[in-house]
């Protein structure tokens, strides 16, 4: 399967702990996105990378959140000092940038985070 993969699929943690999620994009894609989806809502944009560069961060991304894409391939999203409000599905998507139009983004299965 050559789609977007995410690991782990589920994570249960206690409040105050740090967690890290990984996303492996489709191999030829140069853009990688992170979204967060809470119950009953549509996904909300968090941040995105073009190659290694983090080009935009949402105001939803507090200073407890950090994302990296060190070699322009896989990406990690870390949440420090987790809070119960961080419980959500974290989605990763990748795309191939096309000049002049919005990319088609392909989504992974998501990582479901539960903070107790």
Residue 14 or residue 104: which is nearer to another protein going by CB? 104
Shortest Cβ distance from residue 27 to another protein (Å)? 17
44 makes contact with another protein (CB under 8 A): yes
Which listed residue (30, 45, 66, 80) binds another protein by CB under 8 A? 45
72 makes contact with another protein (CB under 8 A): no
Please give the size of the binding site for another protein, defined by CB under 8 A. Answer: 29
Burial of 28 (0-12, 13-18, 19+ CB in 10 A): exposed
């Amino acid at each position: 399967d050559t789609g977007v993969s995410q690991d782990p699929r589920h994570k249960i943690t206690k409040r105050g702990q740090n967690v890290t999620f990984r996303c492996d994009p489709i191999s030829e894609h140069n853009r990688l996105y992170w979204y967060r989806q809470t119950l009953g809502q549509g996904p909300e944009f968090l941040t995105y990378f073009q190659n290694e560069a983090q080009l935009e961060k949402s105001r939803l991304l507090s200073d407890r959140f950090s994302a990296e894409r060190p070699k322009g391939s896989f990406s990690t999203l870390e949440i420090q000092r987790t809070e119960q409000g961080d419980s959500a599905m974290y989605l990763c998507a990748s795309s191939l940038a096309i000049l002049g139009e919005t990319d088609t983004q392909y989504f992974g299965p998501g990582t479901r985070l539960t903070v107790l």
